[in-house]
Amino acid sequence: MKEILKHENEVLIDLLNIEGMKIIQRNDYLNFSLDSVVISHFLTINRGVKKILDLGTGNGVIPLLLSRRCTAKIYGLELQETSVDLAKRNILLNQLDKRIEIIHGDIKKWNDFFEYQSFDAVISNPPFFKFDGNKKQLNNLDQLTLARHEISITLEEIVKAASNILRERGYFAMVHRADRLEEILEIFSKYKLTPKRLRFCHSKLERESKIIVIEGMKNAEKGLKILPPLITHEGRDYSKEIKELFK
């Protein structure tokens, strides 16, 4: 255990109920949530998807989950050095270093690491909240602030990078706030990402949607499918669909 964990705040846990898969997390950094699980299952993966990039990979949970769905080469790009270290160790821990590569870098400087239009699919669970200069919005821990608020990068900069990285008719999937949907659709259009699939997520059937998952295709014909809503909880327990994702 001491060889695996490097810091007093680190813990090693099973990754959902996936047999043999584990993940190292730190309680002073943003840990993976249901959002990461849902978007990992939402991304379209077909025979043409052989190369996938996760923008803002954190501790590498999305590449780990994607590896269960496909045989594609998966990359994760992450700005925070500690998160990069966690992600790299998580990949090694699960013996996936031949399939997954973690890169330390800024999404805005994507062309330092990748060629233009070189990926079949891009995925992201980005910071959800705009920063208006009011420091009362922010967490006391800088690393959590960067993960939750658009300080180091904006929504538009993430979508722009994804569009540049994607090949023609490649897929971009993202999880975000439902109350920013209008803005998301405008930015997708600006960067030639045609919205193709949209799903509203509700914590309970009777509650309004706070989260969406959306997928666009680069330079595709118009035609948006609104999928049935995803209900995450039934009473105090996870819904049947969420339990299926955990399997």
Each residue of 169-217: pLDDT tens digit?
Answer: 999 999 999 999 999 999 999 999 999 999 999 999 899 999 999 999 9
Residue 237 lies inside a defined structural domain of this protein: yes
- Is 11 within the bounds of a domain? no
23 domain-assigned:
no
Is pLDDT of 140 > 80?
Answer: no
Position 3 pLDDT exceeds 70 = no
Let me know if residue 22 belongs to a domain: no
Judged against a pLDDT cut of 70, whether residue 10 lies above it is answered with yes
Residue 92 lies in a domain: no
Question: If you average pLDDT over residues 230-246, what whole number do you get?
Answer: 91
State the CATH number of the domain containing residue 155: 3.40.50.150
CA nearest neighbour of 175 among 52, 37, 53, 60? 37
Residue 159 contacts residue 214 (beta carbons within 8 Å)? no
Strand pairing category for 166-177 and 211-218: antiparallel
Residue 189 covered by a domain: yes
pLDDT at residue number 148: 54
CA–CA distance, 206 with 178 (Å, rounded to integer): 16
Look at 24 and 27; give whichever has higher pLDDT.
24
The number of folded domains in the chain is 1
> Smallest Cα–Cα separation from 120: which of 163, 174, 170?
170
Instruction: Write the Ramachandran bin of 60: left for phi over 0, alpha for psi from -120 to 50, otherwise beta.
Output: left
94-113 burial, b for 16+ CB within 10 Å, e for fewer? bebeebbbbbbeebeebeeb
Closest to 71 measured CA to CA, from 124, 36, 16, 120: 120
By residue range, what is the domain housing residue 224?
32-78+98-246
pLDDT of residue 129: 54
Is residue 110 included in any domain, yes or no?
yes
The per-residue pLDDT for 99 is 97
pTM to 2 decimal places:
0.90
Whether 42 maps to a domain, the answer reads yes
Q: CA 229 to CA 75: how far, in whole Å?
A: 30
